[in-house]
Structure 1
Amino acid sequence: MVLQLTDFTSEITDEELREFTSEYYIPSALHPVVPAADASIADFPVGKVGVYTRFFEFANQRVPLSLFMCNVLNHYRLHISQLHCIGAAKISNFEVNCRLLAINPTVHLFRAFYHTCWSNGWVSFSKRAGRLQCYTEKLDALRRWREMFFWVDDALVPWNFAFYTDVLLGGILSTKDNT
């Protein structure tokens, strides 16, 4: 069975969202809200984007997003709602490793280590073939990460991108424009 973005609805409750936004310091100015019970991550309203809670828990993302994260999203023209949590973790780990080594993380350098991979509408990154490795530990698969998301104002990401609704072998077939 092939899983799609539209196969999952959010299971987060109002109380869980209040606790989550407090714990991760997500400002009320971003107007976080629980999606409707039948809404998938692809059904975000105009002016909102869907964000998975695991971005913060697993991938160590914070608000505001780092400039490096935004630059990666901008370069690959990725909609944050379609970024797989493991992909977000790879971006975060890369940035932390660069900063620990006093290296300015750039998209060009990131691309030397990783290439995009699409899986059922979600985007992640795979290590490039060869001897050059940035991070050799395998990131474990996440369970139930797709069911825990919420809406925030699209100001979270400084660029507006079309939401890709059909993806085949990395090629974009059509888009949902929520701008």
Structure 2
Amino acid sequence: MRFFRVSCTRLSFSFFYFTMAEPSNPHSTSTENPEPSSPVAAEEEAEVNAPGKNLPVLKWSRSSFETLMRDIQMPPEYGAIYPQEGDTVGDAPAGYVTMFADFFRDCNLRLTLTVFVAKVLEWYKLHISQLSPFGMIRVRNFEYTFRALGIEPIVGDFRRFYQLSVSMGFYSFRQQDHTPKLMVPPKGMTKWKTKFFFVLAASITEKLQFRNVTEPIITENISVPKADTVDWFPDLRIIGWVRLDNRQQWVLRMILGRMSSNARPVVREKGGDEAPLWRMFCPDFKGEVVTTCL
């Protein structure tokens, strides 16, 4: 079966929408036959210091933090705060959780979590602070790829493409063998453990749990996606990594919005015709995301 690759360019719009997460048991695939295995190494994190006594300390400026908060329009009720000098990712105050700046910059994360992100964390028994940006960027790329194509993203299909991995105490996902490569992470995600901040634990409404790093990782054994195993395969377009702004995430239903209930975002071509969401990612797209009233 043939794949259509859509090369990505940076797009620029701006606004806000998100879907309150209500975790439930993820979709399961009838063809799976998991077996325990030793923890799988995450290649991108191999050079990172082990957590514990030798965690790197904070190393990004307060002004960079404040700029990020403005750019992503972080709601004030989430209580995002800049750490104190000398803090590490393990020093979140009582009632707060650690977030990495790259989650919100390159990984396109916004709060609150979408149902899909919450279900991924729930399925793998991960707390969000245990997932590296290399893992988060794959989760969000999968979500916007499927939403852009009008396919509901579910954990069962995510598992067709990715295998949970762990290195130095943080979790990521590696590509499953014989599956189409959906994306390559940007090279700019370096020293991510030194660029973090804290948010109120109450802003993560899902009841996430911390996974013990000594717990064996289940090796996934799920059928490779193809035309005779999944009905969406013929529609799949590979949409690589791109940094999305708030309006783009709003139209993709990947963040919550604070706007009139009778407003909806749509993608329009340059001439004004409404277009499918995946057109945003095409190199020849000259249109925009606009707001219309129902």
Question: Which TM-score band applies after superposition, normalised by the shorter structure?
Answer: 0.7 to 0.9
Alignment of 1:48 with 2:84, yes or no, is no
Alignment of 1:150 with 2:197, yes or no, is yes
**RMSD (Å), alpha carbons:** 2.1
Partner of 1:102: 150
Once the 2 structures are TM-superposed, how far is the Cα of residue 139 of structure 1 from its aligned partner? 2.0
Unaligned runs of 5+ in 2: 1-46, 218-294
From the superposition, tell whether residues 126 and 29 of structure 1 become closer, same or farther in structure 2 (CA, over 3 Å). Answer: same
Letter in 2 for 1:156: S
Equivalent of 1:113, from 161, 180, 199? 161
Q: How many residues align?
A: 168
CA contact (8 A) 2:121 2:208 kept: no
Instruction: List per-residue Cα deviations over 1:20-57 (Å, max 9, x = no partner).
Output: 21111111111111222232212222221111111111
Letter in 2 for 1:152: V
Unaligned runs of 5+ in 1: 172-179
Alignment of 1:138 with 2:184, yes or no, is yes
Once the 2 structures are TM-superposed, how far is the Cα of residue 2 of structure 1 from its aligned partner? 5.9
Partner of 2:225: none
Structure of greater Rg: 2
CA contact (8 A) 1:78 1:161 kept: yes
Partner of 1:160: 207
State the structure with bigger RCO (CA 8 A, min sep 6), 1 or 2.
2
Q: How does 1:59-138 map to 2 (within 5 A)?
A: 59-130=107-178, 132-133=179-180, 135=182, 137-138=183-184
TM-score (norm: length of structure 1): 0.83
Q: C-alpha separation between the residues in 1 aligned to 2:216 and 2:186?
A: 23
Counterpart secondary structure, 2:180: coil
Q: C-alpha separation between the residues in 1 aligned to 2:135 and 2:101?
A: 14
Counterpart secondary structure, 2:192: coil
TM-score (norm: length of structure 2): 0.52
Q: Which has the higher helix share?
A: 1
Instruction: List per-residue Cα deviations over 1:100-159 (Å, max 9, x = no partner).
Output: 2211000111111111000111111011112x3251x43244212211100001133222
